[in-house]
């Protein structure tokens, strides 16, 4: 890739990219060489997404042109002069005054050069320099930029511009999925692949068994697929929220092989997937009850007379109750409720997981076999939390008074 293309991806200037490459010795690029291999590009992307401390060190190394571990007045002036000259809309007449302001901010108007510790202290204590460093801008935010007036476009022009922009965004998205990114996320990749394969295997097992062995109709097959996958995912959604167990795993070498830091995101995904599977499972059973002879559809759905299920024909009625509980939990866990000042609503409605799993055991014949392990661990964790709450050395902490100090501390 060319340096101009890399600069466009990183939202910076080609001059910055070239100085950074030379400062870090990432390539043998010289003044005339403008093409880089993909490994250098990946390193640059990682560097530009690094912490503020790392970026401060990178800026110091870019300013330190002669690599003597000092930034001098001349080095800083030449660096920012070159930066500002490459900015298309910066007024040329203002460049000297901007350089003078920068010299004062870096205290180079009083001394000839500064070391990195001084440079770091100056940047960390200056809000404007820190803000510029945070977005890795190569020119200060107080520079006046003369922006050209936008060109008015008609509907056809806006349409084609939107299509081109969408194609560009898709291209950028595919570039992000690189071998290095996959290599850095091996536990996540393995966990996702394993999860997908297990779901597919269970789905194929249900299809083969229900079609070949029991000769069931298509609606029963879909209902059983949803039921089997619900068994798995309703068990997993317990596992990923065993906070005490996850905390213990994080303290062992196992955390290197398990993506335990993603357990909350996986819990949210499982909740959405369980909602989708519940719709599939419920609709398939409802249609099947409608075409099954012997009882009317309301009798199938809301009574125990057809004796469907493993506990007194309670399966259809418990399924209706489960749908209501799940609907309440999903609605009350939406982002606009959790982050909209109604967290208590989310918290208390999420405690409906207790009757949810109780009715699920009554509803599904084999669910207890899937959930006995996770539910046992969940019970032990809750028991441990309850006990430690009232231990003498680990009891509750009560706030008796508070004092507001300076700076609202």
- The string of pLDDT tens digits covering residues 140-161 is 443 444 444 454 544 444 434 4
Biggest CA-to-CA distance, the chain: 97
Residue 284 has pLDDT above 70, yes or no: yes
Collapsing DSSP states into helix, strand and coil, what is residue 307? coil
Say how many CA atoms lie within 13 Å of 210 toward its Cβ. Answer: 19
Question: 84: Cβ–Cβ under 8 A, 6 or more apart, which residues?
Answer: 90, 95, 98, 99, 139, 143
322 lies in some domain = yes
CB atoms inside a 10 Å sphere around CB 372: 12
Same domain assignment for residues 193 and 81: no
Residue 206 has pLDDT above 60, yes or no: yes
Q: pLDDT tens digits, residue range 91-138?
A: 677 778 878 888 888 888 778 888 888 888 888 777 777 766 655 544
Q: What is the percent of the chain with per-residue pLDDT over 90, rounded to a whole number? A: 38
Residue 269 has pLDDT above 70, yes or no: yes
pTM for this one? 0.58
Question: Which pair of tokens denotes residue 240?
Answer: 């990923």
* Lookup result for tokens 């830091």: 261
Q: From CA 221, how far away is CA 276, in angstroms rounded? A: 16
pLDDT value at residue 371:
95
Same domain assignment for residues 217 and 359: yes
Same domain assignment for residues 263 and 339: yes
* Lookup result for tokens 């097992």: 205
Same domain assignment for residues 76 and 219: no
Q: What is the percent of the chain with per-residue pLDDT over 70, rounded to a whole number? A: 77
**Domain that residue 191 falls in:** 184-387
Same domain assignment for residues 221 and 364: yes
Residue 51 has pLDDT above 70, yes or no: yes
Average pLDDT, stretch 323-334? 95
Q: How many domains does the chain have?
A: 2
pLDDT value at residue 148:
46
Same domain assignment for residues 273 and 366: yes
How high is the mean pLDDT of the chain? 80
């Amino acid at each position: 890739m060319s340096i101009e293309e890399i600069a466009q991806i990183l939202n910076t200037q080609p001059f910055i990219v070239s100085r950074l490459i030379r400062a870090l010795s990432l390539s043998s690029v010289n003044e005339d060489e403008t093409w880089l291999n993909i490994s250098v590009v990946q390193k640059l992307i990682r560097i530009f997404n690094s912490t503020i401390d790392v970026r401060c060190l990178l800026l110091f190394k870019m300013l330190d042109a002669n690599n003597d571990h000092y930034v001098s007045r001349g080095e800083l002036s030449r660096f920012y002069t070159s930066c500002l000259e490459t900015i298309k809309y910066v007024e040329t007449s203002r460049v000297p005054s901007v350089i003078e302001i920068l010299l004062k901010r870096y205290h180079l108007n009083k001394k000839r050069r500064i070391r990195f510790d001084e440079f770091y202290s100056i940047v960390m204590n200056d809000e404007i320099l820190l803000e510029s460093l945070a977005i890795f801008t190569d020119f200060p935010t107080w520079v006046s930029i003369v922006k050209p007036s936008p060109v008015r476009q008609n509907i056809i022009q806006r349409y084609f511009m939107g299509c081109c922009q969408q194609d560009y965004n898709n291209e950028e998205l595919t570039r992000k999925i690189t071998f290095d990114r996959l290599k850095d996320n091996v536990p996540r990749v393995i966990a996702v692949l394993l999860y997908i394969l297990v779901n597919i295997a269970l789905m194929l097992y249900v299809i083969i068994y229900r079609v070949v062995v029991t000769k069931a109709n298509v609606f029963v097959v879909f209902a059983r697929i949803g039921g089997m996958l619900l068994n798995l995912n309703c068990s997993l959604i317990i596992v990923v929220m065993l906070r005490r167990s996850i905390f213990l795993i994080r303290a062992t070498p196992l955390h290197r092989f398990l993506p335990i830091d993603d357990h909350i995101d996986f819990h949210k995904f499982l909740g959405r997937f369980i909602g989708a599977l519940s719709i599939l499972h419920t609709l398939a059973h409802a249609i099947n009850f409608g075409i099954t002879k012997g009882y009317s559809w309301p009798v199938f759905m809301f009574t125990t007379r057809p004796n469907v299920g493993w506990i007194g024909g309670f399966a259809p009625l418990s399924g209706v109750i489960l749908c209501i509980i799940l609907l309440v939990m999903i609605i009350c866990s939406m982002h606009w409720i959790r982050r909209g000042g109604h967290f208590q609503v989310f918290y208390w409605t999420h405690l409906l997981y207790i009757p949810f799993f109780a009715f699920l055991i009554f509803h599904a014949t084999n669910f207890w076999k899937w959930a006995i392990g996770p539910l046992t661990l969940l019970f032990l964790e809750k028991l441990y939390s309850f006990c430690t709450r009232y231990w003498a050395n680990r009891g509750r902490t009560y706030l008796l008074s508070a004092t507001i100090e300076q700076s609202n501390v």
